[in-house]
Amino acid sequence: MQLEFESPFWEQGLQVAGVDEVGRGPLAGPVVAAAVIMLPESVPEGLADSKRLSAKKRGFLAPIIRQSCLVGIGQASVEEIDQINILQASLLAMCRAVEALPIRPDHVLVDGNRIPKGLPCPATPLVKGDARCASIAAASIVAKTWRDHVMKEIAQQFPDYGWDTNAGYPTKSHKSALRNLGVTPHHRRSFKPVRDMLWQE
């Protein structure tokens, strides 16, 4: 993957972070963002948009990214998603991920077409950034593996919804469990299938 977005900052001796979020579409669980500052001398090999990588490949790359880069994780809870909407919650998780970095970056490269308000430095939005920008791709891998782990943890409390495999996304089996077993505290009440269930109850 090209380093065209990072290189101009590195040439000036500046720290640049890539930021991405995962979990906007699920019916359950938090939205999670990661911020990654890569070091020019130790860029991990094999980076790609997390959606294009197998779970095994993501699981292999995530610890390498954590060891060779500076990483921050941020999330917004189900309650926050229902309160402020999923878009604003995603932007909030991105801000929290940048704040969680061990150092403050000089610039942030953000996946998508919006810049979160409240970032501590200037930022550039990059549409399809996870497929074009190495540090955003790294952030997408870290965020995805982190969120999958969170969903596996809460699946132990509620095993019948399949969150260990569907990560809270609206699969057929998840929607069937929602109809048969009802809404859990981890479901997003503002999302239509969950809201419809609550109306019926």
Instruction: Write down all domains in the chain, each with its CATH number in brackets.
Output: 7-200 (3.30.420.10)
pTM confidence score? 0.95
Mean pLDDT computed over 97-112 = 98
Q: Euclidean distance between the first and final Cα of the chain, in Å? A: 50
Please give the backbone phi and psi of residue 153, each rounded to the nearest 5 degrees, phi first. -65, -50
Are 138 and 53 a contacting pair, CB within 8 Å?
Answer: no
* Residue range 161-170: mean pLDDT, rounded: 96
Report d(CA 174, CA 183) in Å as an integer.
11
Per-residue model confidence as pLDDT tens digits over 36-72? 999 999 899 999 999 999 999 999 999 999 999 999 9
Given a cut of 80, is residue 2 above it in pLDDT? no
Here the tokens at position 121 are: 């430095």
Q: How far is CA 87 from CA 1, 24, 84, 112, 116, in A?
A: 28, 8, 8, 11, 10
Q: Is the pLDDT of residue 201 over 70?
A: no
DSSP string, 69-100: SEEEEEEE-HHHHHHH-HHHHHHHHHHHHHHT
Residue 1 has pLDDT above 90, yes or no: no
